[in-house]
Structure 1
């Protein structure tokens, strides 16, 4: 069995009803299963006079082989005959009167695919006035209007009936190679970034009431039925995508749909925003979650070359754009670069840094051919639609655990909590699951986790994971009951945990008092008076464990991820990582002296085992700048036997692994700048 076969054992046996089973993985007749690189020119109305040959020159030199082009929806860049579409008036300046036809003909002559960007979220004012039942209505009965456009609602007839008519017209007009739908969802937030509320149109009121009798359509997050509405709205969009996918497949089966997690190609956009704190690993997290769920389904990461949507003339920091692309390819996604207008009319200083990564992907296509996750550890990401029992931020615990594992060089895949049941038979390839402060689990998910440990798997739990009220859901954790929960500064102020090795660390977030007959670890010291130093003493050692260690499960009774995010104290990171490494034991994958700022990503492709080393030393609070070079480091990997030849693709050298003390293959690394890719030589 090859490394790719081993990693591919995680392919789900079934997938959501909105899509057919993934029987086409690896089909050479479907172009998007081979690695590809996209370039998006997000055109303004005035850009329809572009020179398609000049744009294609730039796209090919950049390293891309697919072009995402505005085709229809808000503006039609071809001569539409539909009364509810708005033709671009600038098309009159083209000899053909047809930008889409010109682009497809020229691109196909050069071996470049053309993907159709469709945006059904808004219509011109005359169409809105003719079809008021199509429109979004906020709780005050007002429409969303901007620059002569009016937002429509996915529950209305424009989406539900006429979307497929537009697709049919496009497919009849030109042999486009696929479709991408922009802003496909219920628009609670408008372009001015104002929250407008849940749509109250007739279609929404009828649809939600029919699906959930007795519940009132919510107006916003404060409404009791809002969580139910969120799941209902996702289901409506999934249904629309399924119908669109069937329409496309009927007319042009070789053309994929790029959209959410149930499309032919999973889409993620990597972008920045004014006022939004940067999560430096957002792209890596999103791609890993998608590839862990459906490993052979392609993922496309559209990385934005400008700073923020209102500042579309301002180039993104070059190293930020490079990191977007690097995170994408390291986790097995296809890179896409997103610019406004077209090269020559608007140019961005960030593009050369991105092109370096895109061309590397092009030049090493065999390495990225069916690149799938292959780590031995999985970090379970909280369900974004789950409602916490308290006001805790489950995302912060996840992110703190993410950083702790990354910085201690424990490679991991991200697995969505809501997919655990679908992946029940595929979790066996993992040795360790890490579940951070997830609260009560769906009973079926708890059963899956118990099956995982019964088959020999191990788990690291933190905080509230696996409790319904105070009753444990996971017998394998060996916890009798939860006696109390201390939450927030009032309850935990000045309380500390003293690890078996290391200095005391603060309890921040919450602490759970657990009763157990299993082995316990780490000491807990109570609160003490806080005030003048003369009175700051009196910590008492409590008879409650900071950690419970059963045969295959360790439970940390605190929220160390949130605490690490809040404090940055390395003792909290090490508390998590040390427990993970202890549970992995002989299954530890990586031993290295690389700095903590270097991430190790483990994958497998048709080329064999693939390790990406990503230098994050240039990370700042809200950006990435140039990284510091790393010299003289070694890396041992459990997947390499002694004598294994390893290619370092960026440095362009071949290394030979020697056996370390534990039998792993060890190599001396070349100088590491932004990144390195290590691949088994054949």
Structure 2
């Protein structure tokens, strides 16, 4: 049996059509898609507006179709695309209905805690627990597949719409279906009104289950109708969908696309992740093009981590004249022209960085994770982002080192995942209060390593508390908290703190003396090694940028591992090394030039001179080529390390290395 089409490299363009675009020139759009280097068209098909003559009363047929000779945009598009070998994906949006259908079927619609509907530009928001989602959208998908040769479906805004397009908060839905289903799920919990309600987190778990059930049933529904058609949505769909976008007023995290794709694919190394890269600056400003350097980062970060790149336009290529499309075309064509390089591309990293639950909802934990992310990138360490919720699914054979970045107490499945890693001989580093509960380490076999006695948590309690992380004689401050540990006599102890003294006035700032409180405690657990770091070096680096912290903690964690570092680079800290292997068995190394990362924006990166990449391996390369600059790499061996001469790096470079043992 042949593998599904989505297991091969592909590249997309999305045209997010308005009603008035129904008379678009199909051939002109396909000309653009082909010239762009894409082979997949994500096209607005149905839901709020049907761009084909639907016979289902739950849909509104686009009145602008009357301007087309055929009266059927989707039929014209699918037929023309098939002639060119371009696949069409159907964009559906069942999040809203018009006023007539809302009046006929109020049971379909969102009802706020105040009893009001959620109305935006005349459309009523629909509730996923109601019949429209639970039954009608399945009928629409069946109708589309009975008429058109589409290759997949994407469902826009398939969630419980607590907020509208203007980001106004409307609360938790109180429609009859929600009230009844939630009462059955949690009979002793009062139906919440919003995040401040006691039962809100319970409701969040229930609503997530409703969406997961819809996702699973729709995937099965589509597969029963045509096994060659994909659902593109959540993790339980055939394809995971990720939208790379920007927003006015949102702090920019320069690595967000890389982080997201890596997190999706670390659950399943062969997972297909479709990355829809937004070519405009924000949803309310859809005609303002994103900066080309920003668009480039969306696409590059997706490609380097094995995602399938797509570019998201508002309207048609004729109306969406975004400046960033030129660099988008260049990168999409590179992916097309090197499709064999990206076939079966999966991470080759042996380091995992676990991101905490809650994301941006917990600024302290997020800062610790992001600081470690920056440390690893700048020290050229290839790594995967791992989900805290999926710790028990980690393949313990995959990682030599896993960093738990201030995760707090672990759930039972998380403890089991860490235990499995240690039993297989991996090293685990737990920073902040990761894996601590009631003063004890949660990991079986680690209880004798140390005991948590107390913690400094306030800013004032941390004044004057310093940690020596290297031999320079200089110190770094404890930021975000410091746990006072009592280590066992067998534990490896380091980074003992310099105790607190008076903070001011300056005349009284003396009396700092070393205290026995360690900033690093490590020991053997199972076949592996566990280190606890009862402070937050990641947060410190993220907020203050002390490079001696970065250099010290990265060097320190690798003293725990069996084999040391996979690769080392004699390149500036602004070059990110992403390590992968492809279906042909070649090592694929992306060198991403991050010198353009600037406050709240990306600027054109400064070219990086030639450098060296050191790879620890017993095999010799038989082919070593830089694919962007189209030149062969010179190399030599130094013991068990192969040293490659890397070319000058502009925006990026991709090294393809085939080994003698492949």
Structure 2-normalised TM-score?
0.95
Query: Which of these residues, 520, 528, 532, is aligned with residue 505 of structure 2?
Result: 532
Which secondary structure does the structure 2 equivalent of 1:167 belong to? Answer: helix
Contact 2:469/2:549 (CA < 8 Å) preserved in 1? no
What is the deviation of 1:643?
Answer: 4.8
What is the deviation of 1:494?
Answer: 2.9
CA distance in 1 between partners of 2:500 and 2:169 (Å): 41
Match of 1:633 in 2: 611
Alignment of 1:395 with 2:390, yes or no, is no
Match of 1:499 in 2: 469
Alignment of 1:312 with 2:312, yes or no, is no
Match of 1:516 in 2: 487
Instruction: Spell out, residue by residue over 1:424-450, the C-alpha distance to the aligned partner (whole angstroms, 9 max, x if none).
Output: xx2212111111111111123213312
Match of 2:647 in 1: 670
CA distance in 1 between partners of 2:598 and 2:477 (Å): 25
What is the deviation of 1:42?
Answer: 0.4
CA distance in 2 between partners of 1:629 and 1:386 (Å): 33
Match of 1:467 in 2: 436
Contact 2:621/2:657 (CA < 8 Å) preserved in 1? no
Query: Which of these residues, 597, 600, 603, is aligned with residue 574 of structure 2?
Result: 597
Deviates more, 1:99-108 or 1:627-636: 627-636
Alignment of 1:543 with 2:516, yes or no, is yes
Pairing 1:303-452 to 2, within 5 Å after superposition: 303-384=277-358, 393-423=364-394, 426-452=395-421
Which secondary structure does the structure 2 equivalent of 1:428 belong to? Answer: coil
Pair 1:385–1:399, CA change in 2 (3 A): closer
Deviates more, 1:205-214 or 1:369-378: 205-214
Instruction: Spell out, residue by residue over 1:276-324, the C-alpha distance to the aligned partner (whole angstroms, 9 max, x if none).
Output: 0111111111111111111222110000000001111111010111110
Contact 1:599/1:615 (CA < 8 Å) preserved in 2? yes
CA distance in 2 between partners of 1:212 and 1:644 (Å): 62
CA distance in 2 between partners of 1:666 and 1:587 (Å): 16
CA distance in 1 between partners of 2:579 and 2:391 (Å): 21
Contact 1:509/1:562 (CA < 8 Å) preserved in 2? yes
Contact 1:644/1:657 (CA < 8 Å) preserved in 2? no
Which secondary structure does the structure 2 equivalent of 1:101 belong to? Answer: helix
CA distance in 1 between partners of 2:653 and 2:170 (Å): 45
Alignment of 1:266 with 2:240, yes or no, is yes
CA distance in 2 between partners of 1:469 and 1:239 (Å): 36
Query: Which of these residues, 615, 624, 628, is aligned with residue 602 of structure 2?
Result: 624
Contact 2:396/2:420 (CA < 8 Å) preserved in 1? no
CA distance in 2 between partners of 1:585 and 1:672 (Å): 32
Which secondary structure does the structure 2 equivalent of 1:522 belong to? Answer: strand
Pair 1:516–1:191, CA change in 2 (3 A): same
What is the deviation of 1:145?
Answer: 0.9
What is the deviation of 1:649?
Answer: 0.4
Contact 2:360/2:366 (CA < 8 Å) preserved in 1? no
What is the deviation of 1:386?
Answer: 12
What is the deviation of 1:639?
Answer: 4.3
Pair 1:643–1:176, CA change in 2 (3 A): closer
Structure 1 segments, 4+ long, off by >4 Å, are none
What is the deviation of 1:346?
Answer: 2.2
State the number of aligned residues: 650
Alignment of 1:573 with 2:550, yes or no, is yes
Contact 1:39/1:64 (CA < 8 Å) preserved in 2? yes
CA distance in 2 between partners of 1:210 and 1:343 (Å): 49
Instruction: Spell out, residue by residue over 1:394-425, the C-alpha distance to the aligned partner (whole angstroms, 9 max, x if none).
Output: 222111111111111111011111112233xx
Which secondary structure does the structure 2 equivalent of 1:233 belong to? Answer: helix
Alignment of 1:606 with 2:563, yes or no, is no
Instruction: Spell out, residue by residue over 1:500-522, the C-alpha distance to the aligned partner (whole angstroms, 9 max, x if none).
Output: 33421111111111111112101
Which secondary structure does the structure 2 equivalent of 1:587 belong to? Answer: coil
What is the deviation of 1:584?
Answer: 3.1
What is the deviation of 1:83?
Answer: 1.2
Query: Which of these residues, 582, 589, 593, is aligned with residue 559 of structure 2?
Result: 582
Which secondary structure does the structure 2 equivalent of 1:545 belong to? Answer: strand
Instruction: Spell out, residue by residue over 1:79-109, the C-alpha distance to the aligned partner (whole angstroms, 9 max, x if none).
Output: 1111111111100000000000000000010
Which secondary structure does the structure 1 equivalent of 2:340 belong to? Answer: coil
Pairing 1:144-159 to 2, within 5 Å after superposition: 144-159=118-133
Pair 1:29–1:237, CA change in 2 (3 A): same
What is the deviation of 1:668?
Answer: 0.9
Contact 2:364/2:480 (CA < 8 Å) preserved in 1? no
Alignment of 1:179 with 2:153, yes or no, is yes
What is the deviation of 1:253?
Answer: 1.4
Match of 1:284 in 2: 258
The root-mean-square deviation of aligned C-alpha atoms, in Å, is 1.7
CA distance in 2 between partners of 1:640 and 1:63 (Å): 38
Match of 1:233 in 2: 207
CA distance in 2 between partners of 1:527 and 1:142 (Å): 57
Structure 2 residues not aligned, in runs of 5+:
none
CA distance in 1 between partners of 2:359 and 2:536 (Å): 21
What is the deviation of 1:658?
Answer: 1.2
Which secondary structure does the structure 1 equivalent of 2:34 belong to? Answer: helix
Deviates more, 1:504-513 or 1:195-204: 195-204
What is the deviation of 1:609?
Answer: 1.2
Contact 1:645/1:681 (CA < 8 Å) preserved in 2? yes
Contact 1:409/1:591 (CA < 8 Å) preserved in 2? yes
Instruction: Spell out, residue by residue over 1:216-243, the C-alpha distance to the aligned partner (whole angstroms, 9 max, x if none).
Output: 1222222222222222211110111112
Pair 1:476–1:610, CA change in 2 (3 A): farther
Name the structure, 1 or 2, with higher relative contact order (CA <8 Å, separation 6+).
1
Instruction: Spell out, residue by residue over 1:140-188, the C-alpha distance to the aligned partner (whole angstroms, 9 max, x if none).
Output: 2222111111111101111112110111111112111110011111112
